[in-house]
């Protein structure tokens, strides 16, 4: 290894592990890849799940996600291609299109559906689950539909296009800020050979997810459809270099370091709280919840 390479590595967190994800299906038969699985919840605290879906065949998405509950965390849905309509138990409704985001706080609980608004063509996107701290798990539910034009964007050196969904990048504030975990969520489009550096607080857990082309981080190639867990090695940034034209999500956040108790769509701190979630759901408390648009 020559000196220049050593220098470059010291400026970027290393890749601790590459993760391919697990092909699965959820909702009414939607085929997806669970990239962040339950066994990684501790390591990637405060993030609980990342699903990636990219289906050309309507049979693989048309059933969508009919009515289901959530409690105790937030869901962030980022559409790349296709349209999805959400409806919740309070009568709210919204249409999520390419480049748009829905940021939903399940809090004390709601019931919603997420259904494709198309019968053919590509359906592609991501859903990220972000945990809430114990003291905020039972806050009132709410959601925000963020139109593509409302997501701040900038062009960095080398023609790198950056969409700032949450957090801050190069002085540009994102569409969403969350004080508890300070989540960073960027969608970075890099022309071949371009490089992009993002500051990351040393104590925050971080990962990238390549969804086009391939990239290199601190000497490790991160191929298409792979997550790279970034080492907590004391460096304050990640540097991504595109091998071919690439699109990469960068996600980071401050860990909560609290117990995680999950059963399906409920994520609490204890088994007792999970039992209460089921009881409340069974007696119809979720259906009665008021869900506000934020
Ligand atoms: Mn849902």
- Encode pLDDT of 130-149 as tens digits: 999 999 999 999 999 999 99
Four-way CATH pick for 3-257: 1.10.357.10, 2.60.120.10, 3.30.479.30, 1.10.10.10: 2.60.120.10
Q: What is the CA 201 to chain-centroid distance, rounded? A: 18
156: CA distance to ligand 1 center in Å? 34
| The pLDDT of residue 294 | 83
167: CA distance to ligand 1 center in Å? 23
In this prediction the pTM is 0.95
- Encode pLDDT of 190-236 as tens digits: 999 999 999 999 999 999 999 999 999 999 999 999 999 999 999 99
With a cut of 70, say whether residue 27 has pLDDT above it: yes
Q: Delimit the domains of the chain by residue range.
A: 3-257
CA angle 265, 201, 101 (to 5 degrees): 40
Q: What is the largest CA-CA distance in the chain?
A: 65
As a whole number, the mean pLDDT across the chain is: 95
With a cut of 60, say whether residue 5 has pLDDT above it: no
279: CA distance to ligand 1 center in Å? 19
Cα end-to-end distance, the chain, whole Å: 51
What value does the mean pLDDT take over residues 51-57? 95
Taking Cα atoms as reference points, which of 135, 178, 170 lies closest to residue 153?
A: 170
140: CA distance to ligand 1 center in Å? 16
Handedness of CA 90, 115, 262, 102 (dihedral sign): negative
Long-range pairs, 176-181, Cβ under 8 A, ≥24: 176/101, 176/103, 176/144, 176/146, 178/74, 178/130, 180/46, 180/132, 180/133, 180/136, 180/254, 180/256, 181/46, 181/130, 181/131, 181/133, 181/253, 181/254, 181/255, 181/256
Instruction: State how far the alpha carbon of 204 is from the alpha carbons of 143, 171, 200, 240, 254, in Å.
Output: 25, 19, 7, 18, 4
Answer whether 144's CB lies under 8 Å from 94's CB.
no
236: CA distance to ligand 1 center in Å? 34
| Pair of tokens at residue 275 | 């039992």
Answer whether 113's CB lies under 8 Å from 64's CB.
yes
């Amino acid at each position: 290894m020559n000196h220049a390479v050593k220098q470059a590595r010291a400026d970027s967190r290393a890749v601790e592990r590459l993760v391919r994800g697990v092909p699965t299906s959820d909702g009414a038969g939607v085929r997806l890849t669970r990239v962040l699985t339950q066994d990684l919840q501790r390591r990637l605290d405060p993030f609980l799940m990342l699903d990636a879906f990219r289906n050309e065949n309507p049979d693989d998405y048309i059933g969508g996600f009919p009515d289901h509950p959530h409690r105790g965390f937030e869901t962030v849905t980022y559409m790349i291609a296709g349209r999805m309509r959400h409806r919740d138990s309070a009568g709210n409704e919204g249409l999520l299109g390419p480049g748009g985001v829905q940021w939903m706080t399940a809090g004390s609980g709601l019931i919603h559906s997420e259904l494709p608004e198309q019968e053919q063509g590509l359906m592609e996107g991501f859903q990220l689950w972000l945990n809430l701290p114990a003291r905020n798990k039972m806050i009132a539910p709410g959601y925000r539909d963020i139109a593509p034009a409302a997501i701040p964007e900038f062009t960095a050196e080398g023609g790198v296009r950056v969409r700032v969904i949450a957090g801050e990048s190069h002085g540009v504030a994102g569409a969403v800020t969350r004080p508890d975990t300070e989540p960073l969520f960027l969608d970075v489009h890099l022309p071949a050979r371009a490089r992009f550096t993002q500051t990351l607080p040393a104590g925050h857990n971080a990962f990238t997810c390549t969804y086009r082309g391939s990239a290199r981080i601190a000497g490790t190639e991160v191929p298409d459809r792979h997550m790279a867990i970034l080492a907590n090695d004391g460096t304050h940034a990640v540097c991504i270099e595109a091998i071919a034209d690439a699109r990469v999500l960068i996600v980071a956040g401050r860990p909560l370091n609290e117990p995680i108790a999950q059963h399906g769509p409920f994520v609490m701190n204890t088994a007792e709280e999970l039992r209460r979630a089921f009881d409340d759901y069974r007696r119809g408390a979720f259906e009665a919840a008021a869900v506000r648009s934020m």
